[in-house]
Structure 1
């Protein structure tokens, strides 16, 4: 192998590893911003606002960018009970994107009147209780009521369905990649 080839290979590896390092740094920064904004929201800071919410698992997905639903969820986070509780629930993955940047991906347990969530720095497999309990307080907007009914349906009835909540309405799409084979 010639000297020029070695330098080209070295440059290619350096570029690949550098790109990975840069990408990981950006992702980590987005997560850190998301955690900080979530902590601020949990303390009642009205400046921390949601841009979108995505909920996954149980062979279904919810994508929400509806401002009314997002403002309601923000209020529930700000006013929520910070003590563990609500018992068990159905597991869903929650992805929050914040206005101005920041993202939070976390495990949640949903029940009839709310959900519990782990903050990213909490261990989910140690038996530690989720740090935050979010209670759905009335009045619940119609779009959020539809979201809750969708999450509560048996997986056989909604497998492969994406509930899309946007300004102006709610619709359903099909996504076969959600269906376990």
Structure 2
């Protein structure tokens, strides 16, 4: 399968990412022909978690400070409690994320990943899902939160937890294969 050949995807992550929520999308995208790079504020490698237990480390391909959203066709933000919480306080991560929305490029976020979208001010009037305990944060930012395994809103793909990864990965591949969604760019 190679419907993503020639597509470049950034996975934005830092220490404390949920291991399966980074590795499974990365592997699915690569299996479909995409070039996938881990972009991070950290250099070298970042530490994953399996819930609260230490998981695998993943090598960082590109330093966030030097990354440009124009170099990528799509963005994926894995969850885990610590990863998105750190990213949403990083100005470079917020700028990087917002640039994908402004360009109408597909974005995927799972579990706590949508926290980054709140701070990037890109969830207003969008339907999405997440881990239930950040529902109120998303609603307060103007999102229409729903409890489904995967939600797609004009190129934005969101899911709740690792059990939703098969549906999340399938929709990510589909949206990235479709390409840009110009109507995705909305003012916050």
State TM-score, norm by structure 2. Answer: 0.24
State TM-score, norm by structure 1. Answer: 0.24
